[in-house]
Structure 1
Amino acid sequence: MKFSLQVILAALVAIGLVIAGCTTPGTSPENEVSIIYTRGTGPMPTLLATDQIDGYIAWQPFVEVAPLAGIGKVLVYSGDLPPEGKWENHPCCVFAARQDAIENNPDLTNALTAALVLSTRYIEENPDESAEIVADWLAGKGNFTYGDISVSSVEVLKRAFPTVRFVNDPTDEWKIDQLEFVYAQRELGLLTGSLLNSTDQESLDLLFDSSPYDAAAAMIASGAITTPPANARQVGVGYLLSDHHAALFVAVKNWQYFEETYGIAIKPRDLTASRPEIADLVVNGQPVAELKLISADAGPQLMQLAATNTVAYALVGNPPAIAAIDKNTPIKIIMAVNLEGSGVVIADDAPADDWESFVEWAKSRSAQGKPVIIAAPGKGSIQDVLIRSALEESGLSVREG
């Protein structure tokens, strides 16, 4: 991402003023957009189809549902939101682990990390096949159905995959980019604990432990995965029903390939299930841990499961992970899972086809006393931060409600 710290801090201060009921310099009360929160993305297609909202910002594959169902059009993908270049390659989901899992079971943590890294590489090389695997996991390769809306899951996923960058390397640049979400969550009043007043370096130290990724990358490069000691207890692995977490789904569904090629596999107990719940981590032919794969409705729920030690590992959005660490949940972010992968959708008949015409439409609607209503998954989510920043940059203020 190409950030201007001064611009971003100014935008975040503006967000705080809007939340407090104030308008920002360069905007007027007439130039308002209303944001509502839907506690996830599931309700969004139905709300759009029934004219209860004018648009939404969501993660994939919900972005592609609207055009395929004929109820909306993609206005802009998240990496292209204004200002130009600011959100290119923005962080999204991460792989996190409880600190006691990292410290007490390092070989297990390293092996599981390696399995996800190898799966991510497979996705990059085989996107269409991977999209079908994810469609099977999410919908049994059937249709996504929301009320009267029904669209092919395979077609949706094949459209969605090119807009998501599946990467793992926790580079220094990627870690620093995460700080932008720390700043945003502070301004939104969502951080009140250890990250509220931390310096950038203190924040980085609190958030990250990339040593399991380094160990996994070294094992993959050497062609030999270290066999962990057998784990006596079941190990929880949390995830969301999103294509962003395709690395887990592909690793499980394509376990035989990974075992034969790399000597490591996440092998499901039920080989016929579209969405297995129990799997064995197998390294060099030896089952080393029974994994319970636990889905959640949203990232905060996953972080609560981590806080209670129901899951030791989780694929989760970066804001919920940041918020959990702020509250002293004993987790660390190990690596990236994906970049970008969200988008803004508006009604099919809306008089806008790009961001500039959307801004003009929003100003016109606001002047008529009928602000454009945009749904976001939750306050402080990646999508909320993205849309607020873009609106403020374009001279539009935000009203919640």
Structure 2
Amino acid sequence: MVLNSIKGGSEVATLFAQKHLDLTVSSFPAMLSGIDRGTAIKVMAPVQADGIAMVSRSDIDVVGWENFLAYVKASEKPVIVGYHSPTSAPKILFEAAMDSAGLRLTGDAYATKKDADILMMDLRGTANIIPAMAAKQIEFAVAPAPTPEIVESKSQGHIVLQLRELPPVGRWQNFPCCVIAGRTEFVEAHPEAVKAFIDMMTTSSEWCMANPQLSSEITADWLGVPAEVIAAAKMTLSTKVTKDWLKNAALYPEMLNRLGQCTGALQDKSLDDVADLVFDFQFVEIEQQ
């Protein structure tokens, strides 16, 4: 097995299309975007839910949804929110929640408050969040754990809220973030290898949830940050396909279509419509409906 570190989900989808990658742990909406463009990808298991937060610069005293909403409404120009990848779960989830709250979004750097309430900025990787905050290029950022916790630990910003706290209450909880996915051709040709990989991820996920302190210490050593930073991350690790996971996963194609980001195989389709195209759950436990 050769492990590759990749910047974001959009790059993963490109590498799948080029047949330079066989298996991945990556963003669910990024895999949906790849499938929408015609890349033969199968999502084979959940692996992480929640663990997504919004951070602000240290000089912006905003904590909680109501205070963020008040800050946006009081601003004389679109509030700048950074994200690490255009097909990342944090971006898609945040945009959907803002749309649900009636806030207008744009990617146009020349937009005025008449045009939008929030300007979304692509930072091209989580490593660029702290530099962008330090340079005051952005006011807020949405990112997966442990990036928000690392930002806070380095006193470069603070966590405003966990995205599962966004209104309406309960809608964004236990939301899929990363999944295990594979290039369809590889999955069909090497099912034993794929099963072994997913079994390993299942065992690892179960062990991490059962041993949070030790798993935080091991992860912290790998990332070079204090163990308490990792322990502060609020996420769930599991490869089990539950009813709640499927219900929340179904919101992604709905959101991508509402935002105009599906133009191919998933355009105007619900997740039920394309379940056979998207999923292959032969290697994992599925909760009975």
User: Could you tell me the TM-score, scaled by structure 1's length?
Assistant: 0.42
Q: Mapping of 1:246-395 within 5 angstroms? A: none
Equivalence for 2:205: 120
- Gapped regions of structure 1 (runs ≥ 5): 2-7, 22-27, 143-151, 218-401
Identity of aligned residues (%): 26
Equivalence for 2:174: 89
Quote how far apart the aligned CAs of 1:200 are: 3.8
Q: Distance in 1 between matches of 2:105 and 2:98?
A: 13
Q: Distance in 2 between matches of 1:199 and 1:30?
A: 30
What is the CA deviation profile of residues 105-144 of structure 1, one whole-angstrom value per residue up to 9, with x for unaligned ones? 2222222211110111100111121122222333xxx3xx
Does residue 154 in structure 1 map to residue 154 in structure 2? no
Question: Does the 8 A contact of 2:106 with 2:119 survive in 1?
Answer: no
Equivalence for 1:184: 255
Equivalence for 2:184: 99
Question: Does the 8 A contact of 2:174 with 2:244 survive in 1?
Answer: no
Q: Distance in 2 between matches of 1:19 and 1:117?
A: 39
Structure showing greater Rg: 1
Quote how far apart the aligned CAs of 1:192 are: 1.4
- Gapped regions of structure 2 (runs ≥ 5): 1-48, 50-95
Q: Distance in 1 between matches of 2:235 and 2:260?
A: 29
Question: Does the 8 A contact of 1:79 with 1:88 survive in 2?
Answer: yes
User: Could you tell me the TM-score, scaled by structure 2's length?
Assistant: 0.57
Distance 1:37 1:69, change over 3 A: same
Q: Distance in 2 between matches of 1:70 and 1:10?
A: 27
Distance 1:10 1:196, change over 3 A: farther
Distance 1:209 1:72, change over 3 A: same
Equivalence for 1:34: 119
Q: Distance in 1 between matches of 2:270 and 2:167?
A: 27
Question: Does the 8 A contact of 1:12 with 1:183 survive in 2?
Answer: no
SS in structure 2 of the partner of residue 193 of structure 1: coil
Distance 1:204 1:126, change over 3 A: same
Q: Distance in 1 between matches of 2:193 and 2:101?
A: 43
Structure 2 residue corresponding to 1:62, chosen from 140, 147, 150: 147
Question: Does the 8 A contact of 1:63 with 1:74 survive in 2?
Answer: yes
Q: Distance in 1 between matches of 2:121 and 2:262?
A: 21
Question: Does the 8 A contact of 1:12 with 1:184 survive in 2?
Answer: no
SS in structure 2 of the partner of residue 201 of structure 1: coil
Q: Distance in 2 between matches of 1:84 and 1:187?
A: 21
Quote how far apart the aligned CAs of 1:184 are: 1.6
Equivalence for 1:209: 280
Q: Distance in 2 between matches of 1:92 and 1:211?
A: 20
Quote how far apart the aligned CAs of 1:51 are: 2.5
Structure 2 residue corresponding to 1:194, chosen from 249, 259, 265: 265
From the two aligned structures, give the one with the greater strand fraction: 1
Q: Distance in 2 between matches of 1:136 and 1:125?
A: 19
SS in structure 1 of the partner of residue 136 of structure 2: coil
Question: Does the 8 A contact of 1:175 with 1:204 survive in 2?
Answer: no
Distance 1:39 1:31, change over 3 A: closer
Equivalence for 1:297: none
Q: Distance in 1 between matches of 2:98 and 2:152?
A: 35
Q: Distance in 1 between matches of 2:105 and 2:119?
A: 11
Quote how far apart the aligned CAs of 1:34 are: 2.5
Equivalence for 2:33: none
Q: Distance in 2 between matches of 1:10 and 1:54?
A: 16
Distance 1:50 1:37, change over 3 A: same
Q: CA RMSD in A?
A: 3.2
Quote how far apart the aligned CAs of 1:19 are: 4.8
Distance 1:96 1:30, change over 3 A: closer
